[in-house]
Amino acid sequence: MLPVALTEIRRQLNPMRNLKSCINIDDLARLAAKKVPTPVYDYVEGGADDEVTLSRNCSGFQRYQIVPKALQDVSRIDTQTRIMGCHTSQPFYISATGFSGMMCPKDAELAGARAASKFGVPYTASTFSNRSLEQISESSDGNKFFQVYVLDDEQLASDLNRRAKAAGFKAMVLTIDTIVGGNRERDARSGLSIPPTLTVKSTFQYMRRPKWLLQYMLSDGANMGNFPQLPKVSLGDSHAFVEAMSKLFKKNLTWNDARNMVEQWGGPFAIKGIMSAADAVKAKEIGASAVILSNHGGRQLDGTPAPIELVEEVRAAVGPEMEIIVDGGIRRGTDVFKALALGANACSLGRAYVRGLSAGGEEGVTKALSLLKTEFERCMILAGCSSIDQIGPEHIRKIA
């Protein structure tokens, strides 16, 4: 009797049983919680320090209201646009997330790249992918961007650059907000190690997800796909890992270095981690074609504004031509609509995508993208917009 009652309570608390039962992005998180070990789930969902920025990234959207335009012909709507020179079926795409082998041991990054390609949106491969740039590139025909962390070792850095170009990546994304790892206390408490290793503390957690554990043990999930020349990193906790990896980063990266990178790449180039109008203007001056307004999903510096709160002032500062991408807190199609109405060109998805990946691999990512597509399209219709260029400041109102 008691076990039945407990099962029922658990079901009530977490009714998500499969992808079909997920009707929004938060549901995918609930399902993900059942599929991956708790330390991995917390690694994805957690943020820095008190997670104030993490929650503000989402709540910031509530400061804006959508103003519908009445009696417009919305019998046909067109959501296509371009992001960093690439065609996209929706004004959103997949942001860089490292170590996908933890969330989806079987396919790691390949699951996201394939789903994005079939869906017609770009995919961003992280420097810290578990699969190599070449494997990710070959996994699908879709448009892909390469996210780079600048490495101290110039040879390694220029090799990565060359490989990304040779593998057909269409744009480079330079992340500038990770000079040291953020203080993620959930990881310290859960004892997560990257890559996950079986310690006395973690074994119980991992054994509660036997399917995940088996796939993880059978896969290359722990490999650093882009650095086969480096010894396999296996440290006792995620903080130690991030510190070890951050020793690889160039700590004295300046605007001059960024300018050189823009020139060397010679194609669409975004700077990710811009959090002020002044820095957005500098990015424009050094020749970047896009700024990604981002605080790394609240995982680095706690206490910053939400990216959505910066859009208007950044647009006013950089003018109409530069691409602005909002990255952080996107969980609903209406979030995407608000970002566009405030002056952004597109949004990028971090956890919205990783939740799908953890919940169901490629199928889960497709589900996440489909949910956002349906919500965004419904929002466009109800707001009276039949194409992306019709979404403008008249559709948005800020609450004081």
Ligand X SMILES: Cc1cc2nc3c(=O)[nH]c(=O)nc-3n(C[C@H](O)[C@H](O)[C@H](O)COP(=O)(O)O)c2cc1C
Give SS3 for 43.
helix
Which active-site residues does the annotation give? 296
φ, ψ of residue 193 to 5 degrees: the values are -115, 150
Among 175, 223, 358, 390, binds ligand X (CB under 6 A): 175
The residue among 129, 163, 171 whose CA lies nearest residue 146 is: 171
Question: Which of 221, 297, 333, 356 touches ligand X by CB under 6 A?
Answer: 297
272 contacts ligand X (rule: CB under 6 A): yes
Min dist. Cβ of residue 337 to ligand X (A): 16
Which of 354, 369, 385, 396 forms a contact with ligand X (CB under 6 A)? 354
Among residues 96, 172, 274, 340, the one that binds ligand X under rule CB under 6 A = 96
Rounded to 10 degrees, the C-alpha dihedral 173/179/180/185 comes to -40
Task: Note whether 367 and 19 are within 8 A (CB).
Answer: yes
| Cα–Cα distance measured from residue 93 to residue 115, given in angstroms and rounded to the nearest whole number | 11
Q: Is 361 in the site for ligand X (CB under 6 A)?
A: no
**Interatomic CA distance for residues 257 and 18, integer angstroms:** 47
CB of 296 to ligand X, least distance (A): 5
The binding track of 309-348 with respect to ligand X, each residue x by CB under 6 A or -, is ------------------xxxx------------------
294 binds ligand X (CB under 6 A): yes
Half-sphere exposure of 39 (CA within 13 A, CB side): 26
The two tokens of residue 101 are 């082998």
User: x/- binding map, residues 38-67, to ligand X, per CB under 6 A?
Assistant: ------x------------x----------
CA-nearest of 327, 322, 349 to 339 is 327
Using CB positions, name the residue nearest to ligand X. Answer: 350
39 upstream amide cis, omega within 30 of 0: no
The distance of closest approach from Cβ of residue 347 to ligand X in the complex, given in angstroms and rounded to an integer, is 9
Contacting residue, 128, 146, 216, 337, with ligand X by CB under 6 A: 128
Pick the binder of ligand X from 53, 88, 97, 289 (CB under 6 A): 97
Q: Which is nearer to ligand X, 94 or 385 (by Cβ)?
A: 94
Asked whether position 364 contacts ligand X by CB under 6 A, the answer is no
Write the interaction track for ligand X spanning residues 103-122; mark x where CB under 6 A is met and - where it is not. Answer: --------------------
Number of residues that bind ligand X (CB under 6 A): 24
Does position 190 interact with ligand X (CB under 6 A)? The reply is no
CA distances from 33 to 9, 120, 157, 349 (A): 16, 28, 36, 19
CB of 90 to ligand X, least distance (A): 15
Nearest to 146 by CA among 131, 161, 135: 161
Stretch that binds ligand X, among 93-101, 115-123, 205-213, 274-282 (CB under 6 A): 93-101
Find how far residue 388's CA is from the centre of its chain.
Answer: 22
Residue 366's contacts (CB-CB under 8 Å, 6 or more residues apart) are 115, 118, 119, 356
Backbone angles phi, psi at 163, to 5 degrees: -65, -40
Nearest approach in angstroms of CB 262 to ligand X is 17
| SS3 of residue 295 by DSSP | coil
Measured distance CA(124)–CA(122) in Å, rounded: 7
Query: Minimum distance from CB of 209 to ligand X (Å)?
Result: 17
Name the one residue in this structure whose structure tokens are 């209201």.
Answer: 65
Query: Which of 79, 88, 95, 238 is in the footprint of ligand X by CB under 6 A?
Result: 95
Q: Is there binding between residue 193 and ligand X (CB under 6 A)?
A: no
Q: In angstroms, what is the minimal distance from the CB of 30 to ligand X? A: 16
Residues that bind ligand X (CB under 6 A): 44, 57, 95-98, 126, 128, 147, 175, 272, 294, 296-297, 299, 327-330, 349-352, 354
